Amino acid sequence: MSDLYVSWSDYHRTVERLAVQIYKSQWEFDEIICLARGGLRVGDTLSRIFNCPLAILSTASYGGREGREQGVVIVSRSLSMTTPQLGQRLLIVDDLVDSGDSLKAVLAWLYDHYGQHISELRTAVLWCKACATFTPDYYVRYLEDNPWIHQPFEAYEKMDLSSFSEDE
């Protein structure tokens, strides 16, 4: 498996390219649901660009050695949102589609819990891997060689706070 290293500037530029792609589609949505953790930064930025409410749904599927083993997809029991009711036209946002299992599980969860409110739903990610069994509506880069993506915020996962002084 190859590796793709993404800098902060590349990351932000990719999120902006995703925003332009969504804008050019002229599709209007009521609310963004970002999938935490990977989709948090993407969702927050798109929420600000489109001046649209943001809801958060936590998911997890990776663990094991160095967090590279995909297991069962876990979807949180509830959706965190500040609106009194979920919008009808939803944009579901994550950082990437790897196998596609997480997005499939999230869509099933949303229809199961909020199906009566949803009139239209689309998905958007930064990267779509060729091995994915789910193709999002919007994505910036198609990754034919299915690399492991090293995102800039992953440095915090290895941060040792004991080496910092309060003066820093």
Mean pLDDT, rounded, for 61-72: 59
Residue 168 has pLDDT above 60, yes or no: no
How large is the average pLDDT for residues 90-113? 94
DSSP-based three-state secondary structure for 80:
strand
Strands 69-75 and 31-36: unpaired
Neighbours of 131 (CB within 10 A): 13
Instruction: State mean pLDDT over 63-82.
Output: 74
Task: For residue 142, name the pLDDT band (cuts at 50, 70, 90).
Answer: very high
- The predicted structure's pLDDT at residue 158: 76
- Tell me the two tokens of residue 86: 């979920």
Highest mean pLDDT among 16-20, 65-69, 149-153: 16-20
To the nearest whole number, what is the mean pLDDT of the chain?
Answer: 90
Tokens of residue 119, six digits: 């009139």
In the predicted model, is pLDDT for residue 63 greater than 80? no
Backbone angles phi, psi at 74, to 5 degrees: -110, 125
Residue 1 has pLDDT above 80, yes or no: no
Contact 38, 96 (CB under 8 A): yes
Q: According to the model, what pLDDT value does residue 60 have?
A: 83
